[in-house]
Structure 1
Amino acid sequence: MRKVFIIVMCLISFLFVSCTDENNKNISKPKIKPVKVIEVKEEVRDKELKYLGVVTAEEVKKFGFKVSGKIQKIYVQKGSKVKKGMILAKLDTKELELSVKAAQFQMKVAKSQYDKISNGATQEEVNKAKLNLDKAKEAYEFANENYEKIKKLYEEGAVSKSELDKAELEFNIRKTEFNQANEVYKQVLKGGRYEDKDAAYANYEQAKVNYEYKKSLLEGAKIVADTDGYVVDVLYKEGELVSQGIPVVIIRNRNQVVRVGLSQKDVNKVKLGDKAIIRLDDENLVGVITNIDDVPDNQTRTYSVDVALNGRQLQIGSIVKVGIIVGREKGIFIPISTIMTNGEDYVYVVKGDRVIMKKIRIVETCGDRVMVEGLENGDKLVIENIKQIRPDDRVKIVD
């Protein structure tokens, strides 16, 4: 038994020594880990103010009638494409047409009266005035002769005082009629008086203004597009009554802009004409700032900025990413996936055949890349197998 025990103990000792030697070999030969790296370097690129924007129409207009009335016809519907000069809707115009005709007639009458006074009387009117003057003169001379006879008889006591008074009254009447006829005849020969001409012209001008006003009301009974575009909405139906100036049709023009709300800090960095990059899905578009509001929105306190799309048509209401270019910036940009954190941001770089941890500070995020401080030109940044390495590990750079 004692011999067996000794043999077993020897075997155990041999196995223990063998394992210890093997472990010592593994410790003395640390594992070399493969990594992929990129060499970082400073880049110069556009400096952008990054915001979200909404695609909207450059201009939205509300159209209404200039007069009140009942809608007779609406020629468009929501989504319709319209051209400048196209009639969008019209009112029932029967009463307006009658008022225009009446105003036109009044204007023509006033014009005729003015022309008559300005051009003087016709020959027929002159002859008529002369005839009236001759009749008045004969009557006046007869009354005068009769009055003188009665007066003489009264002085002789042949007639009463009442007969004399009657003859005198008749004489005075005929004298007045003669004088009036004479004045009319002179006026006919000379033409209208200046004050009469002025009054007639004023009446004509007033009638003309009234006619033009009634015509404008008739024109105001229809809505005409003053731009190309699309109908956003139609707010009334045919047969409904609508008041003057109330919106009936809403139209947006064909030009589109991206509307962005900038903070007070950033709005001072931009100006009209600055370029902007509009990002929608995988598409990048170049736009130009065409408007910057001077007054902030009451609710958001941001300043509205319009970026023109230069004819490109997008879906109205689309949310897009906007980068407004405000200059150039220089820095080191690395993939965001290479950054680790343990309370502080850091990355791994390879120096020689060892891994070194470098603390960094993120300056700006640019999509899937970030601009950082803490790295230098030429640093070999580990981009793969990052989680399998630790500081001071031996590594081999692979393609």
Structure 2
Amino acid sequence: MKRINIFVTLFLFTSLNIGAIEVLEVKILNSYSLSKQFPGKLLPIEQSKLAFEIPGKIKIINVDVGDEVQEGQILAKLDDREAQARLNQVKASFDLAKQVFNRFQDLRQQGHISVQELDKAQSDLTIAESEYEFYKVKLEQTNLISPYSGIIQNRFLDSGTVINQGVPILEIVDSNYVEAHISVPIIYLNDMKIGAEYNFQVDGKDINAIFSRLAPMSPGGSDSRLAIFKFTEFISPGSIAKLNLKINKKSRGTWVPLRSLSQSDQGLWALYTIDEKNTVIRDLVEIVYFENEYAFVKGTIQDGDLIVLGGAAKIIPGKKIN
């Protein structure tokens, strides 16, 4: 909180013999800074449960919880003997179909076979090639591949387990970036800028993040919106991140200690000032914002006024201070 107030202690004595009075010399400001802290949760930008696309028996799992992996890395394998044997079989059929088609082309050019026979050989070649490509994919599907670079978050099964397709084997989270999802009251969002950098406290450390976007809608009946911040360094997902929001608001007034204020009527507050004739004056002010032991107020006070801080309970407006 930035304050330009000047504190002075004056040992002034009233005719009522109340002793020393502490006063504050006012400096009127055109704005004030407010500080707010909003907690939220750190979430990975990408988080996936990985499964094989075909059923089978797990041959090996190459990674465990906490391991860092790279995009394209083989994380686990199924027993591929059956898939390999089937691929070898259709590869032989494909090679034979190519040989037959090439021979039939020569025979057709020599006029020894009909067009229909050549067309049949070409159709057989196309079918054999399709089967070969199909079983190539099936063999590739016995490998579980990392879709992106990340960290293994969970391992659900072990080697030797017989599984159906789609059963999760591992869970991976993106190791490059995390996001903080923070619920921010709408009244503060107008003072925030998408693309700007904001300070967070995570596990006792100060870390900056970029305000990337707002969720499209507020939760039902809520006066807050979900603000999403992107961190450019990896932090463990699940940690609590606290947004340290500092906003400058335009308003003419000054900071005063809360102890200098007393409640008045119609939502206003009273404080006591001493004018140039050393007379105690009662002024009314409105609290714009308060933080800790101080309030930013606006009202009838002026630059250079001396606000009474202590002994206000014994002061009588209109009395002179000697």
Higher helix share: 1
Q: Which residue of 2 aligns with 1:56?
A: 43
From 102, 115, 136, give the equivalent of 1:194: 115
Distance 1:369 1:384 in 2: 12
1:348 equivalent to 2:271? Answer: yes
Distance 1:299 1:200 in 2: 70
**Structure 1, residues 330-387: CA drift from partner, whole Å, max 9, x if none?**
4435366446454756363532345545443333456665543336452657585467
Distance 2:80 2:314 in 1: 87
The answer to whether the 8 Å contact 2:253/2:299 transfers is no
The answer to whether the 8 Å contact 2:283/2:301 transfers is no
Amino acid at match of 2:147: D
**Structure 1, residues 214-250: CA drift from partner, whole Å, max 9, x if none?**
1112111122213222112112222222222232211
The answer to whether the 8 Å contact 2:256/2:296 transfers is no
Distance 2:14 2:31 in 1: 47
The answer to whether the 8 Å contact 1:38/1:383 transfers is no
From 74, 81, 97, give the equivalent of 2:68: 81
Distance 1:63 1:42 in 2: 58
Q: Within 5 Å, give how 1:186-265 maps onto structure 2.
A: 189-254=110-175, 255-262=177-184
For structure 1, which segment, 236-245 or 366-375, has the greater mean C-alpha deviation from structure 2 after superposition? 366-375
The answer to whether the 8 Å contact 1:103/1:210 transfers is yes
The answer to whether the 8 Å contact 1:277/1:324 transfers is no
* Alignment gaps of 5+ in structure 2: 1-12
SS in 1 for 2:110: helix
Aligned residues: 304
1:30 equivalent to 2:23? Answer: no
**Structure 1, residues 163-187: CA drift from partner, whole Å, max 9, x if none?**
xxxxxxxxxxxxxxxxxxxxxxxx6
Distance 1:322 1:192 in 2: 84
**Structure 1, residues 96-119: CA drift from partner, whole Å, max 9, x if none?**
111111121111111111111112
Q: Within 5 Å, give how 1:105-124 maps onto structure 2.
A: 105-120=92-107
Distance 2:221 2:103 in 1: 68
Instruction: Pick 1 or 2: higher relative contact order, CA cutoff 8 A, min separation 6.
Output: 1
Give the drift of 1:253: 1.0
For structure 1, which segment, 236-245 or 260-269, has the greater mean C-alpha deviation from structure 2 after superposition? 260-269
Amino acid at match of 2:168: P
Q: Which residue of 2 aligns with 1:310?
A: 232
**Structure 1, residues 302-331: CA drift from partner, whole Å, max 9, x if none?**
654311123263663214135386x85344
When the two chains are superposed, the root-mean-square deviation of aligned CA atoms in Å is: 3.9
Query: CA distance change for structure 1 residues 64 and 367 in 2, over 3 Å: closer, same or farther?
Result: farther
The answer to whether the 8 Å contact 1:69/1:242 transfers is yes
Q: Which residue of 1 aligns with 2:303?
A: 378
SS in 2 for 1:311: coil
Give the drift of 1:32: 3.8
Give the drift of 1:258: 0.9
The answer to whether the 8 Å contact 2:155/2:169 transfers is yes
Q: Which residue of 2 aligns with 1:100?
A: 87
The answer to whether the 8 Å contact 2:181/2:226 transfers is yes
1:362 equivalent to 2:287? Answer: yes
The answer to whether the 8 Å contact 2:151/2:173 transfers is yes
Higher strand share: 2
Greater Rg, structure 1 or structure 2? 1
